Each structure stands twice: as C-alpha cells, then as structure tokens.
A and B are shown apart, each in its own frame.
Chain A
Amino acid sequence: MKYVALIYSNPGAFEALSPTEREELMSEADAYLKEFTESGELLSGGAALADPSTGRTVRVRNGVPAVTDGPFAEAKEQLAGYYVLDTESLERATEIVAHDPAARFWAVEVRPIMDMAGTEM
C-alpha cells in the first residue's frame, strides 16, 4: 500500500532554527532517507518544496484562468515537502514517519494514495 508523507511547517521555520539544530536536522534527515530507502519502503521521487511565496495558484473559471502569486506567508502551516512510502500497512508507515526528524520539529501527515486497482463486490 502506498502512502504519501506530507511535511508541514511554518514559513521561515527552518531559518528560525539554531545552526546546531539545522545541522542536526539535515544529518538526521539524510540518515532517515537512507535507512528506509535501503529497507525498500521509501520510494524515490520525494522532494522539498520552495517557499509558497515563490509559487502561483491557478483557478480556471468559465474557461478563464485566474492566476495569483503565492500563497504568501499569512497561512500558518505550509506544505514544505513530501515523499512516498510503500509499506504493509498504515501502522508501519506511521512507525517509519515517527523516525523522520521533520516530525519532531514540525508535523508530517501520512495519507493513503488511492489505488487505481480494485476488487468487485
């Protein structure tokens, strides 16, 4: 079963950390990614996201695209990164994510990815 882990943090949260904390976070994150990639449970293809203020939001209404910059920092928690897990169960995915240093500093949401396959009932 595949799950996406969504890392949420406040804008500027990383900068707010002390240099020691930042270094700790980076090396722990590397070790974390390595450990669970090697177990065959963390799939490649995750990414850290640039600050939301560098992005755009697109809405098409009546065939007309309305494009706005941002969102900007007024929102509290922002999606900061994601990666995909393939595990036996939600329990196992939760157990893995509890090792992610991002979960200690901020919050990581674990959501099942919809399967395109299914069984008739």
Chain B
Amino acid sequence: MTTQAARGTEDLLRQLAPQVLGVLVRRYGNFDLAEDAVQEALLAAALQWPEDGIPGNPRGWLITVAARRLADELRSDQARRRREERAAAQVPADELVAPAPGDDRPPAGADDTLTLLFLSSHPSLSPASQLALTLRAVGGLTTAEIARAFLVPEATIAQRISRAKHSIRASGIPFGLPPEPERAARLQVVLHVLYLIFNEGYTASTGPDLQRSELTSEAIRLTREIRRLLPGDGEVAGLLALMLLTDARRAARTRADGSLVPLAEQDRTLWNRGCIEEGAALVTDTLARAPLGPYQLQAAIAAVHDEAARAEDTDWRQILALYELLERISPNPMVTLNHAVAVAMVHGPGAGLQLLRGLDDDDRISGHHRLDAVRAHLLEMGGDRAAARASYRSAARRATSLPERRYLEARAAQLRDGGR
C-alpha cells in the first residue's frame, strides 16, 4: 500500500462520508445506527481501496456496504425486528444492490452535508459532543483519530459521540434543515463549532502535538464545504478568511524549541503568501457586499496584520477602526483586550491602560492571564519597568499553557536583567 494511495483514499472518504450518511438516514430514518454503519464502511474502504484500487463508483460502494451493515445490525437485534420489517418494506428492492455506475445523486448528497452539520452542532448537545460528532459524522474521521487530536482516550470520544447520538434520538429532531426562522442562529452555532475545531488545532500546531494541526485543515475543509453550499453568506466567508489568514502564520509562530514568537517578532517571510492572498481577497469581496459580522471584522483585522511587510508598517489606525466596529456589533472582554492594544499603538500606552481598567471588574476576564499580559505589555511600552515586570509575573502565574507561561516568565526576566 503506498502512502499516496492511502492519502488519496482518505481524502475521498472524508468528502463522501456525509453524503453516504445522508442517503442512509433518509432511507432508514435511524441516524444513530446509520452513523455506526457508515463508520464501518469507511473503515472497510480505508483498508481495501489502497490495496484493490478505488471502485468505479465509490459512493455507491460505500452506500451498499453501509446499508448491508445497517441491515445486519437491525436483523441481529431481536427487539428491533418489527422496525426492521417496517424499514425493509420501505426500501425498494433495487436500492439494496449497488447502483450502476452513473446512477448517482450527488446534488441531494450535497444538501445532506449541510443538514448533518446542523444536526451535529445541535444546541441540545454539549460543545465537546458537538465537536466530536461533527468531526465523525461530517468529517469522516474515526473515533481514534478524534481522540488523538484532542489528547483524550478513545473511550471518552466514543462516549461523547454515543451520548450526542442518544440526545438526538431522544429529542426526536427530524432529519432536515432547521426551519427558516431558526436557520441564521443555528448557522452561528455551526460556525462556532468549526471555529473551536480550528482553534484546538491551531494552538497545538507545534512540538509534540504536531499531529493535531490536522484539526485546522479539517476545519478549513469543512468551512470551504459550507461556503460552497452557502456562497452568499458573509459570515461563512468571513470565518473561512479568518482561518486562512491565521493559519498563514503557522510556520512563524513558534521557534524550533517550541517557544512562542509574538506577532511583532515573527519572521514574516515564513508566512504563507497563498493563504494570505486568498483570505484577503475573500474578506475584501465579502465586506463590500454582505452585511457586517464579527468573523468578517476579525478576518479584516488579521488581513491588515498579514499585509504589513514589517511589524512597524502595520496600519494600526485601520485596525483600531475595525476594533471599534467589532466592539459595537459583538462586544466581549477579549475584544476589549485587543482593542486596548490598538488604542495604545495609536494614542499611546496610557490610553490603552485606561481602557483595560474597565475590565478589572468584569468577572469574565478579571482573573485571566491575558488581561495581566496585555497590561504588562502596555506598561512596558510606557517605560514603567517595575510595574510591567509585576504584571508579567502575575500573568505567568495564572497561565495554564506551558509555552505561554514560559514566554511570560521570559519577558519578566528580561525586565529584571535590564536587557531587551
């Protein structure tokens, strides 16, 4: 088995996974069992195809194998006999055999991908379950792959997926797109789940956790898929642009020893030009025609950073204007924190520190290491070395990420030693 054949098979399987699942759920109406059957068919294909070659109609192959597994599953369970008979009666005989080449219905499959995304990120599921189910049911990843990516035991991911499927079954959610009035709000949840998947991979794409960067590419792939289905939605485009513009800096954000490099000190020649151009074009086009949204604004801010050849060329006035807009349409303490940095870069550190004072009484962020870290940075900018050092040390104590703590300790130590 060549690795190239295995890789080609894997890409194809991930693309087909939601389409095959959609067909099975429509036919048998049993999301829970259908999802298991599709997983088994995907595993069988992952083993067989690189050896035997990809079948002429891969989608039909998967549907046939999964349908057979599902029928076996239904048959093996005596208690479900009645349901099996009902299901069998609903299935025209020719659907239980492999479709002839060309006898395929991709347009229906394409819609099912979106339906499955809505279902996997249903608000009744916990965020951890939403992430796991989205990656498995829509992304076609195995439970083992998801477990590896989140650094938890496989049994834990299996529990989260089975619990999610149980909730879906118990709540009797119909298989279909959410009703029109709910759709915009539900799409926000889908996008948030993809954003969390991306972040999980992005924060980890260094050192011993390199394999987790697969999550960023998976999040980008799925977001591209939604964009293909909803090309007119500004926030879908905004999220895709934000991911591309963030992921573009991946090679520059850590040193060989795994330590973090702040944006201002990154070697910008290492940034991925292709990603930046695609992301910047996407956000520029979207801002011109779609209603404004928080992902678009964050993408626009990332684009301004990415388009500066040197850190000192950064157009901070434009970034400040974008943060002012973001604070207006989507206020939260993390936005205020970044807004304060932009204020400091344009109006001086004193103005930035003034804005931070408002966050001291905000429970959502007052004990967070990022608040201390930004304060330390602005105090250092203003030349108050002793106060900056105290703030860096307080931030280091509160950080729960080892690379972040080391970075903050190093900044504090530099101030003590008097070096830069």
- Chain B, residues 401-419, CB within 8 Å of chain A (1/0): the string is 1111101000000000000
Partner of B159, one of A39, A112, A116: A39
Taking the nearest CB of chain A, how far is it from the CB of B73, in angstroms?
22
Taking the nearest CB of chain B, how far is it from the CB of A54, in angstroms?
28
B260 in contact with A119 (CB, 8 Å): yes
Contact residues in A for B262 (Cβ distance below 8 Å): 120-121
Contact residues in B for A113 (Cβ distance below 8 Å): 400
A117, CB-defined interface residue at 8 Å: yes
Contact residues in B for A44 (Cβ distance below 8 Å): 153, 155-156
B85, CB-defined interface residue at 8 Å: no
If A38-B163, A118-B403 touch, whether A86 touches B156 (CB-CB below 8 Å) is yes
Assembled-state Cα–Cα distance A65/B373 (Å):
40
Partner of A120, one of B127, B153, B261, B374: B261
A40 in contact with B400 (CB, 8 Å): no
Assembled-state Cα–Cα distance A116/B212 (Å):
12
Taking the nearest CB of chain A, how far is it from the CB of B126, in angstroms?
7
Partner of A40, one of B128, B212, B403: B128
A114, CB-defined interface residue at 8 Å: yes
Q: Which stretch, B30-38, B100-108, B202-210, B342-350, touches the partner chain A?
A: B202-210
State the total of A-B contacts with C-beta under 8 angstroms. Answer: 88
If A38-B163, A40-B128 touch, whether A118 touches B401 (CB-CB below 8 Å) is yes
B157, CB-defined interface residue at 8 Å: yes
B253 in contact with A120 (CB, 8 Å): yes
B400 in contact with A114 (CB, 8 Å): yes
B163 in contact with A116 (CB, 8 Å): no
A120 in contact with B263 (CB, 8 Å): yes
A31, CB-defined interface residue at 8 Å: no
A121 in contact with B407 (CB, 8 Å): yes
B377, CB-defined interface residue at 8 Å: yes
A88 in contact with B126 (CB, 8 Å): yes
A40 in contact with B404 (CB, 8 Å): no
B401 in contact with A40 (CB, 8 Å): no
A115, CB-defined interface residue at 8 Å: yes
Contact residues in B for A118 (Cβ distance below 8 Å): 203, 260, 399, 401-404, 407
Contact residues in A for B405 (Cβ distance below 8 Å): 114
Assembled-state Cα–Cα distance A39/B160 (Å):
7
A43 in contact with B153 (CB, 8 Å): yes
Query: Residue on B with the closest CB to A119?
Result: B203
Contact residues in B for A37 (Cβ distance below 8 Å): 155-156, 159
Partner of A119, one of B150, B212, B404: B404
B402 in contact with A40 (CB, 8 Å): no
A117 in contact with B403 (CB, 8 Å): yes
B129, CB-defined interface residue at 8 Å: yes
Q: Which residue of B152, B262, B373, B377 has the most chain A CB atoms within 10 A of its CB atom?
A: B152
Contact residues in A for B208 (Cβ distance below 8 Å): 116
CB interface residues, B 196-222, toward A, < 8 Å = 202-209, 212
Assembled-state Cα–Cα distance A20/B50 (Å):
60
Partner of B209, one of A43, A88, A117: A117
If A118-B401, A118-B403 touch, whether A40 touches B207 (CB-CB below 8 Å) is no
Contact residues in B for A116 (Cβ distance below 8 Å): 204, 207-209, 401-403
Query: Residue on A with the closest CB to B404?
Result: A118
Query: Residue on A with the closest CB to B201?
Result: A117
Assembled-state Cα–Cα distance A118/B407 (Å):
10
Partner of B400, one of A1, A43, A86, A120: A1
Partner of A117, one of B206, B370, B374: B206
Assembled-state Cα–Cα distance A120/B262 (Å):
5
A12, CB-defined interface residue at 8 Å: no
A19, CB-defined interface residue at 8 Å: no
Assembled-state Cα–Cα distance A89/B155 (Å):
21
Which residues of B come within 8 Å of A, CB atoms? 126-129, 132, 150, 152-153, 155-157, 159-160, 163, 202-209, 212, 253-254, 260-263, 266, 370, 373-374, 377, 399-405, 407
Query: Could you list some 29 contacts between A and B, CB below 8 A?
Result: A37-B159, A38-B159, A39-B163, A40-B126, A40-B160, A40-B163, A43-B152, A43-B153, A44-B155, A45-B153, A86-B152, A86-B156, A114-B400, A114-B401, A114-B402, A117-B204, A117-B206, A117-B212, A117-B401, A118-B399, A118-B401, A118-B402, A119-B203, A120-B254, A120-B260, A120-B407, A121-B374, A121-B377, A121-B407
A-B contact sample (14 more), CB < 8 A, given A118-B401, A119-B202: A40-B160, A86-B156, A114-B400, A115-B401, A116-B401, A117-B206, A117-B401, A117-B403, A119-B401, A120-B253, A120-B254, A120-B266, A121-B404, A121-B407
